[in-house]
A and B are shown apart, each in its own frame.
Chain A
Amino acid sequence: MRLVIAAQNISTFSEPWWKVFYDFSLLTKNIDTGLHNAMSPFWTTVTEMLIIGVLILLFYALVGLFLVYAERKVCAFMQNRLGPNRVGPFGIFQTIADLIKLLLVELIPIKKADKFLFNLAPFIVIIASFMAIAAIPFANGLHAIDLNIGVLYVIAVSAMGVIGVLLAGWSSNNKYSLIGAMRSGAQIVSYELSVGLALITVVILAGTMQFSEIVEAQRTGWFIFKGHIPAFIAFIIFLISSTAETNRGPFDLAEAESELTAGYHTEYSGIKFAFFFLAEYMNMFIVASIAATVFLGGWMPFHVGHWDGFNSVMDYIPPFIWYIGKTFFVIFLMMWFKWTFPRLRIDQLLTLEWKYLLPINLVNVLVMAFVVLMGWHF
């Protein structure tokens, strides 16, 4: 009954309904006031929590499924194949079929494994990626939690995934898993630095760590254009190091099939394996959306100087489409890397980080600070 009253309150929009696509805060505020009118503050909070939780969970699962499909299609086209094309039109239901199959596979408890840590590892990798996704701004007003230390929070939380990877490798009682986990640990913590420093470069320019303010500051131009050369270098470094941080592409030696069977998740079967797989793809989505938010303007449309006609046409595309488009552009770049470059050795990997990216990054931060100080940015 109360929900019906709430629904009636929501349905009375003061503005045309399509405005919602340009400013989601209209909808969220409407729902909030509607619920407040219908029930007590406590139940309002509970209902909102449920709505947000279910929506984010759905989004998470759908993006995960779609990314697996996209990866297989992109990989297939890069290798001049067709890719999945049997289940549904263009094979779009292939990942759903795979998911059902994985759900039906028995979960094998390894006798010699450390049971507790073995079962804990999938929880940690999923929770880490799930908590990181909470702080990402999807569109104007579509933002689960707007932390004032957003950038730092996302780096911190997504880095927790490495604990899950290390636990998985360690507890499996499998030498290849252990080697894979060790490599993965060394790799992720090393490239963590570059990710942090590349984001510091942008934080200097924005003067804030809050995602909503960072996006708002890019209304007059994306940071990759605003920040001149240092911002561009930071973007390149961020792309390289985030690819490495998500254990992908040429840096996937944690699960190098030819030497380590499957790396840290060799012993996992069925849906537990699927969790690692899902977490890997969601981490890719998270770093891509950070790159899109921080460097490519988040949900801000593309504007060119004084071309008013062009700018107003761009404004017609809803912010959510802009955000998704930019994110998937970065994801496509990362897939392109994976299927183009050969896998690195661990010494090459660590040399690249410690002898090239880190010194370049330190200098780059100073250059950016100088540019901001002199007011040379736009």
Chain B
Amino acid sequence: MKNEWLVLFFLIGASFVGLVLIFSEIIAPKSTNPQKFEPYECGIPTKGVTWLQFNVGYYLFAILFLIFDVETVLVFPWAVVMKEVGMTAFIEIVIFFFILGLGLLYAWKKHALIWE
């Protein structure tokens, strides 16, 4: 199968959701009530809007993730050719992981990994 067929899967997924939503919209009963369209939250009326500031901890982990994820993407091609290249590839990845480990250690010592 050709790789362009991924578009097909995208379209099938989108049309599956769309068609089922339309179908449900048609067959489901409808009724109106002023309180019905309020956010449910946990049962009591909602105060204000939700789009406020959130804990900075999430942001720190997102930044750390970005660093390590780019590293993962870099390591994938290395992993494929590792067998052929041999010792050179191994020494290089040891150096690479050593530097990366230092980065993780730095974040650790800076208490970036502690949830506050």
0 or 1 for each of A165-205: is its CB under 8 Å from B? (1 = yes): 00000101111111100100110011011001100100110
Number of A-B residue pairs having CB atoms within 8 Å of each other in the complex: 206
Complex contact A192–B28 (CB within 8 A): no
Q: Which residues of B contact A106 (CB under 8 A)?
A: 28-31
Please tell me which stretch of A244-252, A267-275, A297-305, A313-321 contacts chain B, meaning at least 4 of its Cβ atoms lie within 8 angstroms of it: A267-275
A145 at the interface (CB under 8 A from B): yes
A126 at the interface (CB under 8 A from B): yes
B106 at the interface (CB under 8 A from A): no
Q: Which residues of B contact A1 (CB under 8 A)?
A: none
Residues of B contacting A: mostly: helix
Q: Which residues of B contact A33 (CB under 8 A)?
A: none
Please count how many residues in chain A sit with their CB below 8 Å of the partner chain's CB atoms. 77
**Chain A residue nearest in CB terms to B107:** A354
Complex contact B104–A192 (CB within 8 A): no
> Which single member of A104, A192, A346 contacts B69 (CB below 8 Å)?
A192
> Which single member of B29, B90, B101, B108 contacts A373 (CB below 8 Å)?
B90
Complex contact B16–A57 (CB within 8 A): yes
Q: Residues of A at under 8 Å CB distance from B?
A: 49, 52-53, 56-57, 103-113, 122-123, 126-127, 130-131, 133-134, 143-147, 151-152, 170, 172-179, 182, 185-186, 189-190, 192-193, 196-197, 200, 203-204, 207-209, 261, 266-267, 270-272, 275, 346-347, 350-351, 354-355, 358-359, 362, 365-366, 369-370, 372-373
Q: Which residues of B contact A347 (CB under 8 A)?
A: 114-115
Q: Which residues of A contact B115 (CB under 8 A)?
A: 346-347, 350-351
Complex contact B68–A174 (CB within 8 A): no
Complex contact B65–A189 (CB within 8 A): yes
- With A186-B61, A197-B72, A366-B97 in contact, do A110 and B80 touch (Cβ < 8 Å)? no
**Chain B residue nearest in CB terms to A272:** B21
Q: Distance (Å) between the CB of B8 and the closest chain A CB? A: 5
0 or 1 for each of B65-100: is its CB under 8 Å from A? (1 = yes): 100110011011001111110110110011001001
Complex contact B3–A145 (CB within 8 A): yes
> Which single member of A178, A358, A370 contacts B68 (CB below 8 Å)?
A358
Give the distance in Å from the alpha carbon of A200 to the alpha carbon of B83 in the complex.
13
Q: Which residues of A contact B86 (CB under 8 A)?
A: 373
**What are 25 inter-chain pairs, A to B, with CB distance below 8 A?**
A53-B9, A56-B12, A104-B28, A106-B30, A107-B24, A107-B28, A126-B17, A127-B14, A130-B9, A131-B9, A144-B1, A175-B46, A189-B69, A193-B65, A197-B75, A207-B82, A261-B40, A266-B41, A354-B61, A354-B64, A366-B97, A372-B82, A373-B82, A373-B87, A373-B90
Q: Which residues of B contact A346 (CB under 8 A)?
A: 115
- With A174-B41, A261-B41, A362-B100 in contact, do A208 and B24 touch (Cβ < 8 Å)? no
Which B residues between 16 and 47 are near A, CB-CB below 8 angstroms?
16-18, 20-21, 23-25, 27-31, 36-42, 46
Q: Residues of B at under 8 Å CB distance from A?
A: 1-3, 5-6, 8-10, 12-14, 16-18, 20-21, 23-25, 27-31, 36-42, 46, 49-51, 54-55, 57-58, 61-62, 64-65, 68-69, 72-73, 75-76, 79-84, 86-87, 89-90, 93-94, 97, 100-101, 104, 108, 113-115
Q: Which residues of B contact A204 (CB under 8 A)?
A: 79, 82-83
Give the distance in Å from the alpha carbon of A189 to the alpha carbon of B70 in the complex.
12
**Chain A residue nearest in CB terms to B71:** A193
Give the distance in Å from the alpha carbon of A265 to the alpha carbon of B25 in the complex.
19
Complex contact A130–B12 (CB within 8 A): yes
Q: Which residues of B contact A200 (CB under 8 A)?
A: 72, 75-76, 79
> Which single member of A113, A186, A193, A369 contacts B93 (CB below 8 Å)?
A369
